Amino acid sequence: MYEPLKVVSRSLVMVKYVNIPLPKPLYNQLTKCLDGSGYRSPTEYIIYLIRKNLPDLESEDVERRLRALGYMS
């Protein structure tokens, strides 16, 4: 699956996608909840959630590594 072309520094970049399996009942429930929310699809919402939470996950990973090295307690 590919995302539409984006202009990045005056060059076109094709973004590749991967498939992540979700239980069908969960997907259906999410689809119903997103109706009228402004999100075009469950995929768009899931991407939003990942982008929103990824920095927190990354910072926790850095803190865990620093603790393991003895720099933090």
pLDDT digits (tens, 9 = 90+) for 5-25: 555 566 678 889 899 999 999
**C-alpha torsion sign, points 7, 2, 50, 48:** positive
CA-CA distance, 7 to 53, in Å (whole number)? 25
Q: What is the DSSP letter of 37?
A: S
- Determine the residue type at 68: A
User: How large a percentage of the chain has pLDDT more than 70?
Assistant: 85
Q: In this predicted structure, what is the pLDDT of residue 19?
A: 93
pLDDT of 30 > 90? The answer is yes
